[in-house]
Amino acid sequence: MSELVMPNDTNPQNNLMGGNMLRWMDIACAICAGKHCAKPVVTASVDNVAFGSPIRNGEVVTLEATVTRAFNTSLEVYVQATAATMQGMNPRRTHHAYFTFVALDKDNGSPVPVPEVVPLSEIEEQRFEAALRRRELRLVLAGRMKPANAANLKELFG
Ligand SMILES: CC(C)(COP(=O)(O)OP(=O)(O)OC[C@H]1O[C@@H](n2cnc3c(N)ncnc32)[C@H](O)[C@@H]1OP(=O)(O)O)[C@@H](O)C(=O)NCCC(=O)NCCS
């Protein structure tokens, strides 16, 4: 998904506002998650957001979202933003983040199981494996998992 940064999207420094980037990321990830699940999805959380470098008014932002791992009723989506001029000059990676979505039953709105993800490439394998640790960390920080139950995090930190 691509967006052209317009004056109304920018801050007083003439750069894209972070909130607008998050909005575009949310949309790109929701499309990705919705396609994977073929169900309505809602954003449950956002983490590891990195605002790497500013994007100027008039530049083109391209967002690429991929499902890294499906859990039970939730799934994690990685989104990477790149920016370049309208003429394709100065292309660079600028922002990235992880979004968690929950699939909902279209009739009663309650969470429903999501289809699994099969990683194919090396980078997909790496993100798939690390997704368990990110999930535990976000659930612990959200107060939804006891640290004692975060087995993958314990493995990492000893
Ligand atoms: C997301 C939501 C559906 C979860 O509902 P809930 O009653 O907590 O449901 P559950 O306890 O069954 O959890 C459902 C899933 O959400 C995940 N989840 C809930 N809160 C989370 C959080 N802060 N971070 C990551 N995952 C979370 C749970 O881990 C679970 O996933 P799993 O089944 O894969 O383990 C509910 O909180 C909600 O509707 N939030 C508002 C969503 C919204 O308005 N988003 C913005 C507009 S799209």
Say if CB 70 and CB 132 are below 8 A apart.
no
Closest protein CA for atom 17 of ligand 1: 74
Q: What is the structure's pLDDT at 118? A: 96
Give the CATH fold of the 2-116 domain: Thiol Ester Dehydrase; Chain A (3.10.129)
Q: What is the pLDDT along the chain (158 residues), one digit of tens a residue?
A: 999 999 999 999 999 999 999 999 999 999 999 999 999 999 999 999 999 999 999 999 999 999 999 999 999 999 999 999 999 999 999 999 999 999 999 999 999 999 999 999 999 999 999 999 999 999 999 999 999 999 999 888 86
Domain boundaries, the chain: 2-116, 118-158
Ligand 1, from 74, 98, 100, 133: best to mutate by most atoms within 8 Å of Cβ?
74
Q: What does the pLDDT read at residue 14?
A: 97
Q: What is the pTM of this model?
A: 0.96
Q: How many Å lie between the centroid of ligand 1 and the Cα of residue 111? A: 8
Rounded Cα distance between 70 and 74, Å, is: 6
For position 156, what pLDDT does the model report?
A: 82
pLDDT confidence of residue 135: 97
Within a 10 A sphere around the Cβ of 52, how many other Cβ atoms?
Answer: 12
CA distances from residue 101 to 33, 59, 147, 153 in whole angstroms, order as listed: 7, 29, 22, 21
